[in-house]
A and B are shown apart, each in its own frame.
Chain A
Amino acid sequence: DAGVIQSPRHEVTEMGQEVTLRCKPISGHDYLFWYRQTMMRGLELLIYFNNNVPIDDSGMPEDRFSAKMPNASFSTLKIQPSEPRDSAVYFCASSRTEGNTIYFGEGSWLTVV
């Protein structure tokens, strides 16, 4: 079975540009999570969806960040405008309601210069 698929794997962009990160969860999973990993703050939950509906976005750092899940097989995390402090690894993850294991993608490594 395919795991959680993220793209791009690596992105370098200039400050002020829009960044869009993409995620395809594991088929049949009804929860989708976006996490951010930095050296200073470790792993932080940004937002999660259940059945494509955002449930908790309290971890989204500010209005420059937005996430959507238009269908069960696709989600985006957008940063507009990007800033150097947004440089981090962004992980998408998914799980099933009846299971209790969250599976992670390989991450999108973002550098904003």
Chain B
Amino acid sequence: NAGVTQTPKFQVLKTGQSMTLQCAQDMNHNSMYWYRQDPGMGLRLIYYSASEGTTDKGEVPNGYNVSRLNKREFSLRLESAAPSQTSVYFCASRVGAATYEQYFGPGTRLTVT
């Protein structure tokens, strides 16, 4: 039982390049979330998926797209990376229904030059 896993752990991109951050959970959770963490800031919600087949915007969705591939996997795509997207990205999952605890992955540190 690995919990929430994220790949890659580190990534360096050039401005304008694209990439997909992968997230998977093996806890049979229904809801999944993508957050970004910038220096001096708490985590901010980018997108979330309340259940398989649904996705919704969070607080800072611009420049990102997401795909809930199946119940286990929730990917975050940067189509044209910008230096402002340099950040640490966290994926989280939640059982669903009326439960509130979110379980976080280890994070991906992304640098855009």
- State whether these chains interact: no
